[in-house]
Amino acid sequence: MATLTEIQGLMTDVTMLKKVQAAVSVAAETARATPPVGVPAEATRKWVAQVCYEPSGEAQKAWRMMLGADGPSFTVAQITGLSDANLQSRVDTVSLDLIKMLSQL
């Protein structure tokens, strides 16, 4: 399992951040084309716009949330070795959480 020091190091892993940024862009287009059920449409539109204007910021948020969820259960090798499909699935889940949080602001 990843230690807190390892998780902290992963937060700035450029390779993983670039992958997450691409996955966040895909998640934003999916949310734009098919808005999630049970989430205010305005929050979805705001989040999609945030991804369009500042994709790296939204990717960092998603990555931190993913590391918080996966870090204690996975090793660094497992986290950095996620397949594209598995990474996209995790980003999709976290993106929905980000949209929900945005709706509560």
Q: What is the pLDDT of residues 45-96, one digit of tens each?
A: 999 999 999 999 999 999 999 999 988 899 999 999 999 999 999 999 999 9
Contact between 99 and 43 under an 8 Å Cβ cutoff? The reply is yes
Answer yes or no: is pLDDT of 98 > 90.
yes
The pTM of the full predicted model, rounded to 2 decimals, is 0.93
DSSP 36: P
Domain boundaries, the chain: 4-103
Q: What is the DSSP letter of 70?
A: H
Query: What percent of the chain is predicted at pLDDT more than 70?
Result: 100
